[in-house]
Every structure is written in structure tokens, then in C-alpha cells.
Structure 1
Amino acid sequence: MNTPLPAAAPAERGFARDTLVLASGLGAAQLITLGVMPLWSRQFGAAEFAAFGVWASVVAVVSMALLLRYDTCIVIAKTEGEARGLLRLCLGLSLGGGGLLALVAWALPVPWQAALGLQPLGGWLPLAVQAGALAAAFAALLAWGNRRRAYPPITGARIALAAGAALAGTAFGAAGVAGGLLLAQLIGGVLGLAALALLLAPWRRAASGESSPDTAAVGALEAARRHPQAPRYLWPSAMLDAVTQQLPMLLAVAWFSTAEAGPFSLAWRVLAVPVMMVAGAAGTVFYERFARLAAQDRAAARALLLRTWRTFAFIGLPPALLLLAFGEPLFAWAFGAEWSGAGALAAVLAPMLCAMLVSSPTSGALIVLGLQKWSPVFGVAMLAYRPLALWIGAQQGSLALGLLLWGLCEIVAIALYNLLILRTLRRPAF
């Protein structure tokens, strides 16, 4: 009879509880965001939503660029002192690097902005870059909170971010403030970061009071030297993924009309952002649990992987089928008749987003299993097929066709990615 390893049992018991804490917070945050969308869709037009989509793309790319993926190393750092060094490094890269990039954005010529699909932002581009720096600092603190298993503070900070943006956006929309939808996102980012820093303060003070070799101070540069795989392997592929993930929005602005890009921005915000945030919450817990199990019991790690896939398939399939059948009337009812086109695009996106919901929470398994060398391969593939799909759609004058082709390619890539993880798990533990 096989007796489970002692370390695995607490991880198994705590996985559902910690995921529920994070998911409940994300659920509340998403309810706030989704609840305000029908109001925003009546306060702001397609042009404002197109700018909103580009803002979100800039934030995603900048936040990924600044961190060099050192944030992923905070959880797996060998000592508390090393983790603190990595946190200081990430915060320095976020806030210092963000200021420099904002200056570059301010000096970027208008023709270059148009070529990059950034023209809807206009003079808001430097502030979008600063919002990306705030998002990077937020991600670094999230990683620290995950290491400390401080999930209630993480949950509270996410709710503060969503509530701040919702209240500000609604107020600016009612007052007719130019760029109010964008300014609201910046305000939400500031509030979310401040809340997370304040709520995590008790954990930092408790740890700093300890005196042991495990908490010996490690400088930021020394911490970076101990984790060369982050910028060498993880960051290039993550940057490729971040850039190519945002390409559809940017290319929709550059290659299609605002009347098409605006509905796409709304559909993506309503569907994809909740999917990614929920997947990220579960992925935060999965990464920490899977890292412990994979080093001791590959069978238990594989069981956790398969169980996570089944859970999110059960969650994702019903809404995907609902959107495929009733996307247009649902969006017309919720956001106004002029947004029925967004419902049609939502139906096209539904299968891909369902696949992402199933796979994204477990994507950290690639890092844990030492398969980082494969990340650039998938990144280069994404860099090829995502713009190619949109280009074909542009040639045919159909954004929906471009999104459909993108979704099919994405599902194939997700399947190959996870087959690689499963194959590695069948081998003996390293």
C-alpha cells in the first residue's frame, strides 16, 4: 500500500481553500467591472472603447517588459532573504524603468504611434506606460503575497483596484470628462497597488523580525545573479506572448475601422479579462502547490494537473456554449442594441477563451518542470500565427474571420503545450 507523502497532504487540502479565497475576490472584482460595463457602454462610444483596449494592451506589454520575469522567481526562491532581494529588484525595475519608458513614450513621434496602432491614445500614451509600471509593481507584490500565502490581502487589493476604476469611470462618464475611461484605469491601478502594499505590511514586518540564515539579506543584484534563467529563457517568450496577445487589439485598430475595433475591445474586456484573472488566481495557488509536489511525487503532481483541467473545463464550457448560441442578443440586451456586433465577436472568441481558461491556471508547470527552453519556441510561433490570422481577416475585410483563425491556432498551440507537460510528468522526478 502506498502512503502519501506528508508534504503532499497539506498542499492538497489547502489548494481548494486558497483557490476559493482568490477566486471569490476575483469574482467580486469582476462583478464590479462587469456590473459597470452596461453603464459605460452607454456613456462612452466605440472610439473611447478602442482607446481603452489600446491602453490595456500598453499596460500588459509594459508591465511584462519591466519585470524581466524575476517576479516568477520570488515564489521559488530558496530563502526569505533571497525572495526579499528579488522583490526589491522587481519594484526597482517597475518604478524606475517605468519612468524612463514614459519619457520615451512622450517623445515618440506621432507617425510611429500610428504605425504601432497606438494613435487612439494620443497624449495619453505616457500615462498608459506609467499605468504599466504600476501593474508591474502590483505583480511583484502579488508574487510576494503568494510566497507568504497571504491570499486575503491579495483578494482585498484586487477588489480595491476594480472598485476604484469603476467609481472613477462612472463619475467621469457622467461628467463628460475627456479620456475619463482611461483616467479611471490609472486611478484604479494606484488604489490597487496602495491597498496591496498596505495589506501585506503585517507579513513583511513579521518576517523582518526573524533572525536566521534563511532571512539573511540578499542584495537585488545578487538575487538577479542567482536566477539567470528568468531573463534568459522566461522573459523573451513571455514578452513575445505579451506582445502577440495584444496584437489583435492593436491590429484591429490599425487594419480595421474604429466601428469594428470598439466592439472587439468591449467583447474582449467583458470575456477575456475575467477569464485571465480567474485563471491567474488559480494559477497562483497551482504554481506553489505543483512546485512542491513535482519534486517529490510526480503522480500526485499529475493528478493535481488533471484535476485542475477538469474543474475549469466544467466551469468554462456552459458560458462558451451560451455565447455561441446567443452572443448577439445577449450583448444587445446587456450593453445596448448598437453593441450587438460585439456579441457576434464574443461568439467567435468563446472556444479559444474556454481553452485558455482550462490551460492557463497550469501554465506554470512548464517552469516547475524545467522546460523553460521551450517557452521561446511557443512564443515565436505565436508571433507568427497571431498577426497572420488578423492579416488574412483584413484581406477579406472581416475581423471576425481573423479572430476565428487566431482562435483555432491558439487551441492547437495550447494542446501541444500541455502534451509536453504531460509527457515530462511521466518521467522520474529530477
Structure 2
Amino acid sequence: MQELRVSRRKWTGFGRAFFGGASGGVFRGMATLALGSGIGRVIGIVAIPVLTRIYTPEDFGVLAVFTALVAILAPLVTLRYVLALPLPRQDGVAMNLLALSTGLMLGLSALIALSLWMGGETLLGLVSMQVLAPWWWLIALGVLGTATYEMLTLWATRRRAYKVIAQTNVTQSLAGTVVKIGLGVLSVQPLGLLLGQVVAQAGGVGRLLRGFLGEFRANWHHISPARLRKVAWKHRGFAIWRVPSQFLMVFSMQAPMFFMAALYDAQTTGQFGLAMMALSMPVAILGQSAGKALYGEASQIFKEEPARVVKMAGEVQVRLLAVALVPAALLFFFGSDLFYFAFGPEWRLAGQFTSLISFAIVFQFSSAPLIQLMNLLKNQSVFLLINILRSAGLAIVFMAGAWLELDAMTVVAWYSAFTTIFYLGISAFIMYEFYRLKARRMAI
């Protein structure tokens, strides 16, 4: 009994250390989001060994470029006004932002669909993605669904409804996995992977709509043309600066897939795509969850307590870094063998790619929440500059690899080194900006 009480005290102390302090609210919200994301990602992880035995590396290559294209286009159709949803104190202002974002999303998604219908093969050929031409309609559907889900989750973040977001993460991941496996068994390839990916990214829209439909109806009367123009002008920085910033940010995240597809064959691209998919899971489970929770908490207290935001951000990054180091070390030393046993002998190259990238993902993982806080500083031009530097750096890495005719392993190693340096630098810069703001506020 004495040992049991000591054990309980240890766990209680751990809980207070991890979920207490200035960042306690963030980590409690993060825990809820991470639980949902974690269950959803576990479903995805369990399914990967099945999927790798149903679909070929070439099919995964198509999935990788499809996911990359949707990831680039989806954030742009709202002109990033959607990011301002958690900020207004009045629901009426937020409702006008939601209406503005919805109108932009529907109009620009329709324009994308029309452009792909009329000249999809030509347009996709400009970025070496002709393989997606038959699935142009699915690209448009994926963009619309992903953008809608982002918009509704940001409204949920405004309400701190982390449990609802967590529930949708589970249901859409399960539904997407069922679609991928079911259509794969029926030999619908690679369409099964693509349809399943759309469901996995946007399958929670219905649940979120049902949850907040009453609020939308109650606040609908606040919407007017004059108020729409007012919120559009007030938050114009998101459209002017954040749209190109977001494009460059997502492009730089997806650029490795584009460059690999351009430099190497479909099988190598598929191997790299599986490696990136596996490594993105911890970022999605904890890094993005922490980012949403941190943004939701910080947006409520930033004006009154900027010093507390600084403390929260520092605690979040240190704790995430500690969480990520052990699994990264395992992947670094045993990645090839783990992929061999988990996914089959034909996927050993993906494991080798994973080993090279593992520690770069650690710093991306710990920095992801801090990047969300850039919205609070309202210095969107700096965010644009950061993403210009990242995009230029990646272009130099891969173009140098092409010019020197380097093999895929060497190019991926270069990519990993650059990514590590970049995220270390961006973390230091963001924390410096917040410390400088804190010092200015204290001096007043």
C-alpha cells in the first residue's frame, strides 16, 4: 500500500508538472485534441501495413502528390481570413468573418474546379502532376472539404470545444481508412487511396456543423454587407500578407514531394511519401494539437497578459522537445528495420529515408505551436519573409541535387540538415519577438 501511495504521488506530481504552470490550459486542451488525433492516427498507423500490401509504391506516389496539391490549395481559398476567427471578442464580428470566409471559399473552390475541368492536364503538367488529370474533380472536392473543416475547427477553437474537434479526428480517420481498404480490396487503385484521403481530411464537417448550427442561426442576423466590408478591411493583413505566406509555407512543406517526383521515378517518390506520412503523424497528433490549443488560450489573454503567453510558449516547446527525442532516436537507428518488418521488404528504402529525416521532424514538431502565435503579433510581413527564406532554401537544396546528379539518399540528407537548421532558427526568432514585446509592455 505504501508503494502504491508513493506511485500515485509520483504520477500526481508528473501531472502537475506537465499540465500545470502558465501553459496548463494549453496542455489540457492539447491533451484532449491529442487524444482524438492520437486515436485517429493510431487507426491510420494500424492501417498502413494493410495498405502497403494492397497498393503499390506507385499508388502511394500518386497519393503523395495529390495530398501535396490539396494541402497547398485548400488554405488559399479563404484568403486566410479564417485564421482571425478566434480573435474577436464579439460573436457578431466573428460571424461576419465566418460568412466572409465561406463566400470566398465557395467562389474560389468553384474557380479551381472550372479551371481543372477545362485545362487540368495542361495546368497539372506545369508542376509535373499530369498523373492527377483524371482525378481533377477529386482535387476540387478535396480543397473544398479541407477548407471547410479548417474553418469549422477554428470556430470550435474559438469556443475551446476541443472535445468536439477530437471526436471528428477519430471518426474521419476511421472512415477514411475504411474507404482506402475497402476500395483497395476491390482493386479500385489508386482512386481508393485518393477518396479515402479526402474523407480522412474532411469527414468531420457534418459533425461540426451539427454542433454549431444553433450558434450560427443565433448570430446570423449580425451579418450585413457593411460589416462584411469592415471585417475584411480590418483583417486585410491576413489576405495581403498571410496568403502568400501560407502558400509559401505549405509549398515548402510539400515541395520535397514535388521535387522528388520531378527528380526520381514514381517508386522512389512513393517510398519517400510513405516516410513523410509516417513522420508527419507525431506532428499532427501533438504538434498541431498543441498549436491549436496554444492559439486558443493565448488569443484570450494576449492583450492583458503578454508575459504569460511568453511563459506558455516556452513551456510548450520544451516539453514537446522532450517528448519527441526518444522516438526520433529509435527511428534514426532502427528506421530501416522497423519499416521492413511493419510494411514489407519492398519498403526498406522508406525506412532509410525516415532515419535521415527523423531529427529534423523533432524540431518541426516542437516549433509547430509557436508558428501559430505569429498571428497574435500581427506582423504578417515577417511571416512572409520567413516562408520566402524557407522556400528559397529548399529550392536551392533540391536544385543543387539535380545539378550535381545526386542520388535520392544524399538529397534527402541535405533536406534533413536544412530543415533542422531552419526550425531551430525560427523557434529562436519567435521567442525573441515575444520576449521583446514583453519587455516593451513592462517598460510602459
Normalised to the residue count of structure 1, the TM-score between the two structures is: 0.91
Distance 1:92 1:399 in 2: 43
- Give the whole-Å Cα distance in 2 for the aligned partners of 1:173 and 1:152: 32
State which of 418, 421, 425 in structure 1 corresponds to 2:427: 418
C-alpha separation in 2, matches of 1:29 and 1:186: 15
Change in 2 beyond 3 A, CA 1:201/1:156: farther
Q: CA separation of 1:361/1:223 partners in 2, compared to 1, >3 Å: closer, same or farther?
A: same
User: How far is the alpha carbon of 1:369 from its aligned partner?
Assistant: 2.3
Q: How does 1:70-81 map to 2 (within 5 A)?
A: 70-81=81-92
Aligned to 2:4: none
CA contact (8 A) 1:114 1:254 kept: no
Q: Does 1:183 align with 2:195?
A: yes
Whichever residue aligns with residue 148 of structure 1, its letter is R
Shift of 1:10: 10
Q: CA deviation at 1:295?
A: 2.3
- Distance (whole Å) between structure 2 residues aligned to residue 107 and residue 115 of structure 1: 15
Q: Indicate how the Cα distance of structure 1 residues 233 and 268 shifts in structure 2: closer, same or farther if over 3 A, else same.
A: same
Structure 1 residue 121 and structure 2 residue 143: aligned? no
- Cα distance in 2 for partners of 1:188, 1:425 equals 35
Identify if the C-alpha distance between structure 1 residues 300 and 109 changes in structure 2 by more than 3 Å, giving closer, same or farther: closer
The two structures, once aligned, show a CA RMSD in angstroms of 2.2
**Aligned with residue 148 of structure 2, among 117, 130, 137:** 137
Q: What is the correspondence of 1:209-224 to structure 2 with a 5 Å cutoff?
A: 216-217=222-223, 219-224=227-232
Q: Any conservation in 1 of the 2:120–2:133 contact (CA below 8 Å)?
A: no
Shift in Å, 1:66: 0.6
Deviation by residue 1:119-142 (Cα, 9 ceiling, x = unmatched)? 232311331132012101111111
Mark the CA change 1:185 to 1:111 in structure 2 (over 3 Å): closer, same or farther.
Answer: same
Matched, 1:110 2:121: yes
Instruction: Determine helix, strand or coil for the equivalent of 2:130.
Output: coil
Match of 1:428 in 2: 440
Structure 1 stretch displaced more, 190-199 or 153-162? 190-199
Count of paired positions = 416
Moved more, 60-69 or 329-338: 60-69
Give the superposition deviation at 1:216: 4.2
Q: Distance in 2 between matches of 1:410 and 1:251?
A: 15
Quick one: which amino acid aligns to residue 415 of structure 2? W
Residue identity in the other structure for 1:393? G
Which of 327, 335, 345 is matched with 1:327 structurally?
335
Instruction: Tell me the distance in 2 between the aligned counterparts of 1:276 and 1:226.
Output: 31
2:364 is matched with which residue: 332, 342, 356? 356
In 2, distance between residues paired with 1:189 and 1:79?
A: 30
Q: Does 1:234 align with 2:245?
A: no
1:204-242 deviation per Cα after TM superposition (whole angstroms, max 9, x unaligned): 46x549xxxxx9445434321221110112221111111
Shift of 1:290: 2.2
* Distance (whole Å) between structure 2 residues aligned to residue 173 and residue 359 of structure 1: 36
Q: Partner residue of 1:195?
A: 207
Match of 1:386 among 379, 394, 400: 394
Structure 1: runs of 5+ lacking an equivalent: 1-8, 210-214
Q: Look up the match of 1:368.
A: 376
Whether the aligned pair in 2 keeps the contact of 1:67 and 1:93 (CA below 8 Å) is yes
| Paired residue secondary structure (2:80) | coil
CA distance in 2, matches of 1:389, 1:126: 33
Contact 1:115 1:254 in 2 (8 A): no
Q: Where does the alignment leave 5 or more consecutive residues of structure 2 unmatched?
A: 1-19
C-alpha distance in 1, partners of 2:364/2:50?
28
Structure 1 position 196, deviation (Å): 2.0
Provide the C-alpha distance between the structure 2 equivalents of 1:230 and 1:273, rounded to a whole number of angstroms.
28
> CA distance change for structure 1 residues 291 and 160 in 2, over 3 Å: closer, same or farther?
same
| Cα pair 2:282 2:365 within 8 Å, conserved | no
Aligned position for 1:16: 27
Question: Which TM-score applies when normalising by structure 2?
Answer: 0.88
Q: Given the superposition, is the C-alpha separation of residues 12 and 203 from structure 1 closer, same or farther in structure 2, using an over 3 Å criterion?
A: farther
In the alignment, the residues of structure 2 paired with residue 293 and residue 118 of structure 1 have an alpha-carbon distance, to the nearest angstrom, of 45
Query: 1:100 maps to what in 2?
Result: 111
The Cα offsets for residues 371-430 of structure 1, whole Å up to 9 and x where unpaired, read as: 322111111112211122122333333222222222222222223322222222332238
Equivalent residues of 2:66, 2:139 under 8 A apart:
yes
Q: Structure 1 CA distance, aligned partners of 2:173 and 2:75? A: 20
Mapped to 2, the partners of 1:202 and 1:274 lie a distance apart of 34
After TM superposition, give the deviation of residue 40 of structure 1 in Å: 0.3
